Amino acid sequence: MADVDVDPSELPRSWLLRYPQLIRPTVLALTLLIFVADYAFSDVVVLSTLYTIPLLFSLWAGRRRFTIGLSILCCVLAGVCLFRSAEVMGEIAYPNAAAAIFSVVIVTSLGLLRLRTERELSYVRKLATTTLRSLGEAVITINGAGELRFANRVACELLGRPASELVGGRASDVFIVRDVEPTRPVVLELAERGATEPREAVLFAFGGRRLPIEYVRTPIRSADGGQFGEVVVFRDISARKEHEEAIKRLAYRDDLTGLPNRVSLADRMQLELAHAKRNKELLAVAYVDLDGFKEINDRHGHAAGDALLKAAAERMRGVLRAGDTIARLGGDEFVIVLPAIGNVEDARRVGEKVVAALDHPLEFDGKQLRVGASFGAALYPRDGEDAQTLMRRADKAMYRAKSAGRSKVQIFQNLSDSQWS
């Protein structure tokens, strides 16, 4: 099967097909030569069957209308030779001439039928090829030997190579993907027989590009059910992935500060508590509430309040370790998770750093805005062994710090909850 992306004019052809203007004169000359021989040697019966030669040649060259006219001419010439043969051989010439004319008609009919079938198949093939080339999705076809036999325009763009470099090469060399699912092989050999359901993967395109794609593989089967190739349809899903990441950020991140939100904090606390329990480590959970934020927000507007919240989040991140977690619950409330701390004093020192970082004024619209922070913390496992208990007691410690004055740090003491209310 010829490569559908290769121009047929570039395929090797005979010298006669390269000069189509010579086809008709050559066929007519051959026909007349046969007629002269048949007329001159009318006693040689086999010469009458040679009229099928120029007919077959005309059919091979794809000249349908010319073949019909040539068939009529051959019948007329065979009839002329019939009368000549009758003068020489008598009545025995009639069956021979009839057989010659019959063979001409049969060859012409079968040849025209084959030519019509080939043209219909060619039309269907061109229609299919045009459809594949115009699709907005990438399409490649692979034969049973694992060679890439077709690549449409979109496939060439995604793979980063023209069709002339792709067609004929090994599919596993030009289309290499890493499946997203860890249970699949690292490099997917497209010659393997397998799934046809949509799958996500990373495409390693020419030039080192990596594209997230979704692909479907469909086997090409013969009439007896045997597989002799496959069609692979794939699409670039970069935009979809970016959209999914944006949705994920909205679901797990605070839109204003970019910090983890309440949902993300809950997941993180479960992981950190499990780690602390497994490794018998201390963990601190701290509440941070900004002092004087409501007054600034009311006096200078929400824009000033938003700028203050973003600056506060950035400053607190700056004094924490890489493994610490800070999340915004809403308003001016933040929660900090401090895994693997050494003792209570380590938690207190972190609180003092946070309070000091927020004590510096923020300039907004030519004004100096100043807030403080109240910091309250509870420790695992001393003050609680689950997230709800630790957060409730850290919140109580924060309110105790706030009641003690501006910019204070308070660690929950091992007292009853009623003494902290």
- Domains in the chain: boundaries: 8-132, 138-240, 253-420
Q: Compare 54 and 14 and report the one with higher pLDDT.
A: 54
Is residue 278 within 8 Å of 356, Cβ to Cβ? no
Confidence grade of residue 97 (pLDDT, cut at 50, 70, 90): low
pLDDT digits (tens, 9 = 90+) for 102-154: 666 666 666 666 666 777 777 677 766 666 666 778 888 888 888 888 888 88
* pLDDT for position 85: 64
* Mean pLDDT computed over 275-292: 93
* pLDDT for position 348: 93
pLDDT digits (tens, 9 = 90+) for 52-93: 677 666 666 666 677 777 777 777 777 676 666 666 555 555
Residues contacting residue 108 through CB under 8 Å, at least 6 positions apart: 55, 59, 67, 68, 71
Reduce the DSSP state of residue 138 to 3 states and report it: strand
* pLDDT for position 84: 65
For residue 139, count other CB atoms closer than 10 A to its CB.
18
Q: How many CA atoms lie within 13 A of 370 on its CB side?
A: 7
* pLDDT for position 92: 53
Per-residue pLDDT for 16 more than 60?
no
pTM over 0.75: no
How does DSSP classify residue 234?
Answer: E
What is the rounded distance in angstroms from the CA atom of residue 144 to the CA atom of residue 70? Answer: 43
Quick one: what percent of the chain has pLDDT higher than 70?
A: 71
What is the rounded distance in angstroms from the CA atom of residue 372 to the CA atom of residue 369? Answer: 10
Confidence grade of residue 188 (pLDDT, cut at 50, 70, 90): very low
Confidence grade of residue 94 (pLDDT, cut at 50, 70, 90): low
- Tokens representing residue 370 in the block: 């100043």
Show contacts of 18-23: CB within 8 Å, 24+ apart. Answer: 20/61, 23/58, 23/61, 23/63
* Mean pLDDT computed over 221-247: 82
Is residue 359 within 8 Å of 372, Cβ to Cβ? yes
Among 82-91, 131-140, 175-184, 340-349, which stretch is predicted with the lowest mean pLDDT? 82-91
pLDDT digits (tens, 9 = 90+) for 394-420: 999 999 998 888 889 999 985 444 444
E strands, 108-179, in order: 138-143, 148-151, 176-179
* Mean pLDDT computed over 26-52: 70
* R_g over Cα of the chain: 43
Q: What is the CATH number of domain 138-240?
A: 3.30.450.20
Q: Does domain 253-420 have CATH number 3.30.70.270?
A: yes
* pLDDT for position 393: 95
Sign of CA dihedral 398, 404, 409, 410: negative
Q: Which of 249, 326, 251, 253 is nearest to 285 (CA)?
A: 326
* Mean pLDDT computed over 2-22: 48
Per-residue pLDDT for 13 more than 70?
no
Confidence grade of residue 231 (pLDDT, cut at 50, 70, 90): confident
Per-residue pLDDT for 191 more than 60?
no
For the chain, the maximum distance between any two Cα atoms, rounded to a whole number of angstroms, is 139
Among 31-40, 265-274, 287-296, 334-343, which stretch is predicted with the lowest mean pLDDT? 31-40
Confidence grade of residue 301 (pLDDT, cut at 50, 70, 90): confident
Average pLDDT value over all residues in the chain: 78
What is the rounded distance in angstroms from the CA atom of residue 182 to the CA atom of residue 201? Answer: 11
